[in-house]
Amino acid sequence: MKNKIKIWLIISAAMCTVNITKAQVSCFAQSYLNDNDFKKFKGTTTLFTLRYDDYKNIEKYREAIQKSWTITPFLIIKPNELAQYQDNPAYSFFYFDSYTEQVDSLNSLNVLYALKLGAHKRTKKNMPVIATVNLYPDLFTLKYLEDIGYSFTSTSNKNKLFINNLYQHATFYNWSPGMLTTYLMLLNNALISRNEFDIEFETTDKLSLSKLKNEPLYIPDYVKDSFNQEFNQYSILNEVNQGKSEKYQYQVQFVSTKELDELILKPGSNIKYLVYTQNSFDKIISIYDSRNNKIIYQKYTPKSYGFRNSDLSNIQKNLN
């Protein structure tokens, strides 16, 4: 029997969509939290909700969170338990959410994993989102969510349908215990120091990237199987072969998400791996170093679809 989810969350991330669409992981520790609220946040217990399928591997997710999240105590709860906590300022929580973005009169739906505080106890003031991870849903998930958005039903009913789909049926390419470890480490360190990622957060650590001259860049299989979503013209398989490609001169190693997780989470892990995120009209390409869970490369490209050989060429320019 399918779980009945009762989460009365307003799609609250819309207030900061200008910021969150341009970075794979975003932190707003200063913009949306004053000193008093930040102090309250550090005194909370952070609740992590997962997709229902993820609870089959809950120990892997627990390991990932324990490895990377230190700023507050944490608990992993079921999605249908969240309603009893979300109006309690003693808790902060991570949850799946979605928002609509409009570019050139076109609407598109985006999905994220967001962190926010519980509501103020007295005023019940809705607290802002303070950190996000952009997720890359598969086409079936995206189509279903968009169909809900266009359906002739009430806003409250749409929100319930959105949330049920995100937790019950959704598939995200860039979501796994290993990837979550890296995302949370970035957010944890940023929150501890109250640093923010820039609105257009692009970065290049040339010293770390230069090591890719002598070691492989690990790329999850979903990237090579990811078709250009605008025109459906080709996949990366038509441009990049296993190992060396026509333009990228160094080693590329395609692995399954499961294999990548094992490489990231194993003791003493020391690999460089790529995460590709398609965010409505834009794409974000990030490279992470599993040795310290730092981001060593990120490029945001507006109005662009599909991972291409030119993306590898852009990476290579920073290796020379």
Instruction: List, for residues 177-216, the tens digit of each pLDDT value.
Output: 999 999 999 999 999 988 876 545 788 899 999 999 999 9
CB contact at 8 A, 303 and 281:
yes
What are the residue ranges spanned by the domains of the chain?
12-178, 202-317
User: Residue 320 half-sphere exposure, CB side, CA atoms within 13 Å?
Assistant: 8
**Encoding tokens for residue 54?**
């993820």
Helix (H, G, I), strand (E, B) or coil at 174: coil
Cα distances from 31 to residues 26, 134, 178, 179, in angstroms, run 12, 19, 29, 26
Amino acid at 29: A
Helices 58-68 and 177-193, packing angle to 10 deg: 30
pTM of the full structure: 0.84
pLDDT number for residue 265:
92
Q: How far apart are CA 164 and CA 98, in angstroms?
A: 12
Long-range Cβ contacts of 296-301 (<8 Å, 24+ apart): 296/203, 296/204, 296/205, 296/208, 296/209, 296/272, 297/203, 297/204, 297/205, 297/209, 298/23, 298/24, 298/201, 298/202, 298/203, 299/202, 300/22, 300/23, 300/200, 300/201, 300/202
CB contact at 8 A, 200 and 22:
yes
**Encoding tokens for residue 320?**
């020379």
pLDDT number for residue 104:
60
Helices 155-168 and 139-150, packing angle to 10 deg: 170
pLDDT 10s per residue in the chain (320 long)? Answer: 344 343 434 344 434 444 444 577 888 888 888 888 899 899 999 999 999 999 999 999 999 999 999 999 999 999 999 888 888 889 999 999 887 766 565 566 788 899 988 876 665 566 778 899 999 998 888 877 776 665 666 666 667 777 778 888 899 999 999 999 999 999 999 999 888 765 457 888 999 999 999 999 999 999 887 654 433 334 444 444 444 445 688 899 999 999 999 999 999 989 999 999 987 778 899 999 999 988 999 998 887 878 888 888 889 988 87
Q: How far apart are CA 310 and CA 59, in angstroms?
A: 39
Amino acid at 160: K
- Alpha carbon 259 to chain centroid, angstroms: 19
CB contact at 8 A, 93 and 86:
yes
**Which residue, 265, 311, 260, is CA-closest to 285?**
311
